[in-house]
Chains A and B, each alone.
Chain A
């Protein structure tokens, strides 16, 4: 047998095995495409990683991989910056009169006072996986009245109380990673950076109900504005993407 024939047979054997092994079919969930309307370059915010909309002021808070917290207008223009910095800010959420920020590298959550962006408290959380695959997402689940920290890879939705004591962990197997989470109007939305999609999830079980494939490279942050429009930040591209309302899946 020539070396070429051997090679072809080997590749055929490997491909056949692969096809057999992927026959474990995943549960289908309703899916649709969701395209952005326009975007803006966030020139002064290096590596923006998450965004949250403040209904009270109409502003947004954006955090950066460089450990910085910014308050911005809805177009991403900086209004002010928190004086206290961290190492690698990845998640941001607003609850009552505070802004909460997750710092991925040291596994900490910072509590800032919204009025003056002064640091009020620092909580330690635990995630023993890879240094740069930890808590990229932070949101408050108003349905269950608990904070959610979502690990990037492997994905797990972890519930915490208001003192950041762990309550319960839910594995999430539908995406290769999760880079942002947001509770909104009774649902939890999870954003996958690697799979470039948004999952609409049950706020009690975190089971995915719908899936929206987006056309954004390396999306990292997810927010809903006052008109239900979606804002998404992209880390690598340093952009803020503007979407309309989520489409209805028929």
Chain B
């Protein structure tokens, strides 16, 4: 363990010292090196993000496989964002590292990481903006908030993609009302989430519907968990969102055989039957402090009484319903004078209310910002406080990630 401590200390020191040495490169270009090309009618921005970290897991006794311990690529993204004079916006956000990983492992490593993070076009010339294509769906503050603009290396489990999809292909409408204080979203999507490129569609042929309503005061708020502006006045946002799909499969088809990767780790993302998710979230910022809360509850009605989600319970017990979900809450403090930001987050989850047990997690994060979150050293620690040994058994008791990130 002493060796690990030494290694982490060297990594932390090395990252920051190297960043200081590289600082001159960014000093005249504090927003990093995003490029913009413009002609009379079009503007195209070329940007991206790259990050690397060292990960160390404290394994339970008897677990000799330490393959998780080592260096990892966090992001290696490239982003093209264009705007036209006739009010169209288009974006193509690609993650080459995910594409390479998917190709090298024949898409078995992480099927939900297709390598494409956004590919859409949007028209903003009307009061209601129209977006068509693949992008984040308007559900969950935690999912919509960029994790790179925080001290954390990973999303909380609740909105990380296991309980519901974060991206999908479809149509999104959104509008701002009441002087930008009320923001409404609505859309219909494939329902396959990030696996839409893998399967195209499912046998039910039915979409997923998603809606979200946000109210911000005193004005609109960006999807950022950290109060980098050190807000001189209290500002907050409260939101409610819901999503629904009926993916009852026709005779001769099943989710398990037709789209086996799509249900995800707990089988919640898509089911042979009906599924709805209801959630609410809240954020408040003041003087560098920010507090966030989010809850999401999944309600599933599998068609077959033999569905594994029922955990073998009798209908009289399960009432033909399976519930999952939980909540996360976090407190962040941005200390701009020290270029520092700290985060503490807690979440409690239950992947299946018909199985015994639940899980609770504690997260700690620290960021030292050389140039905002565009050039930043981050260290994240998390551990299960309560383990759900039935639904989500773990081989480790804690994990640390420390590394460096550049957004360009």
**A residues near B, CB below 8 A?**
1, 3, 6-7, 9-11, 13-15, 17-19, 21-22, 41, 43, 46-47, 87, 105-107, 127-131, 133-134, 153-155, 171, 173, 176, 193-194, 196, 214-218, 234, 236-239
Given the known A-B contacts A3-B383, A22-B337, are A196 and B364 also in contact in the complex, defined by CB atoms under 8 Å? no
Contacts of B27 in A (CB 8 A): 173
Interface centre among A7, A19, A155, A214 (most CB of B within 10 A): A7
Chain B residues bordering chain A, tally (CB within 8 A): 59
Residues of B within 8 A of A10 (CB): 5, 8-9, 12, 379, 381, 400, 402
From A131, A196, A237, B45 is in contact (CB under 8 Å) with A131
Proximity string of chain B (12-39) to chain A, C-beta cutoff 8 Å, 1 when within and 0 when not: 1100100010000001111110111110
B339 within 8 A of A: yes
Complex alpha-carbon distance, A202 and B272, angstroms: 69
The answer for the CA separation of A1 and B2 in the assembled complex, in Å, is 8
Most buried by B among A46, A153, A236: A236
Q: Write the nearest CB–CB distance from B29 to chain A, whole angstroms.
A: 5
From B58, which residue of chain A is reached at the shortest CB distance? A3
**A22 cross-chain contacts in B, Cβ below 8 A:** 337-339
Min Cβ gap A162→B in Å is 22
A193 to B5, CA, bound (A): 41
Residue interface bits B214-232, CB-to-A below 8 A is 1, else 0? 0000111100000011111
Known A6-B5, A154-B29, A217-B231; contact A238-B219, beta-carbon cutoff 8 A: yes
The residue on B at minimum CB distance from A9 is B5
**Are A131's CB and B36's CB within 8 A?**
yes
CA distance A130 to B220 in the complex (A): 22
Chain B residues with CB under 8 Å of A214's CB are 232
The answer to whether B4 touches A106, judged by C-beta atoms less than 8 angstroms apart, is: no
Interface secondary structure of A, over-half rule: loop
Write the residues of chain B forming the contact surface with A, with a CB cutoff of 8 angstroms.
Answer: 1-2, 4-5, 8-9, 12-13, 16, 20, 27-32, 34-38, 40-41, 43, 45, 47, 58, 81, 83, 85, 179-180, 218-221, 228-233, 235, 337-340, 364, 366, 368, 372, 377, 379, 381, 383, 397-398, 400, 402
Residues in A with CB closer than 8 Å to B366 are 11, 14-15
Known A22-B337, A127-B36, A237-B219; judge A196-B30 contact (CB<8 A).
no
5 A-B pairs (CB sep. < 8 Å): A18-B368, A22-B338, A105-B83, A107-B43, A193-B229
> A217 near B232 (CB under 8 angstroms)?
yes
Q: A127-B36, A129-B34, A237-B219 are in contact. List 9 more A-B contacts (CB 8 A).
A: A6-B4, A6-B400, A15-B340, A21-B339, A131-B81, A153-B31, A196-B229, A236-B220, A238-B180
Q: Which of A106, A130, A194, A216 contacts B85 (CB 8 A)?
A: A106
